[in-house]
Amino acid sequence: MNTSGTAHRRDARHPLALGGPLVIRPGLADRLLARVLGASLDYQLAAGCSPESNRLLAARAQHIVSLPRRTSVARSWDHLLRVARRAPIIRTPAVPLNAAAILGAEPAIRELVERLTAPLPVTARGVAAATIPLANAASPVYGRQSPDALADLLDVAITQLDPAQPLMGVA
């Protein structure tokens, strides 16, 4: 209680109050645009741009760190492992998988899936780093780079998905 006899409450203008100036609260238009520009925003997040730096990055980060979205990314990695184990049957116009790289990186993929599906908070940078190789036809998932190239990308994502990583940018 303060001296006037009323309970102390945090002033809504205080920078640490929910909705204060340090909290970016993207609106519906921001969230929709962030989905449309998802790949571009993922590259920025994976490169280390702070989600707090603008509304679109904040909206994208909020979306991709949600457990349902992370679970979806994890399922995509599991699916890649299953497809890579199958012998190629018929050539399709789809971009072929680099099965050797995928199978060679299976332990890293398993660890990535485990971190993505853990009910712990993770960084948007890590989720973006885990998403990009799935959507980029030039990534080691599809390209003919050495198997180590995929393992290296996965190691970066796994490191960024460590729950011990700071969730907010450090000034």
Q: Do residues 57 and 31 lie in contact, with contact meaning Cβ atoms separated by under 8 Å?
A: no
Q: Which residues of the chain have pLDDT under 70?
A: 1-24, 87-94, 167-171
Quote the pLDDT of residue 22.
46
Q: Do residues 134 and 154 lie in contact, with contact meaning Cβ atoms separated by under 8 Å?
A: no
Nearest to residue 114, comparing CAs of 74, 82, 150?
74
Nearest to residue 26, comparing CAs of 41, 47, 48?
41
Quote the pLDDT of residue 30.
76
pLDDT tens figures, 111-134: 999 999 999 999 999 999 999 999
Q: What residue spans define the domains of the chain?
A: 12-64, 66-165
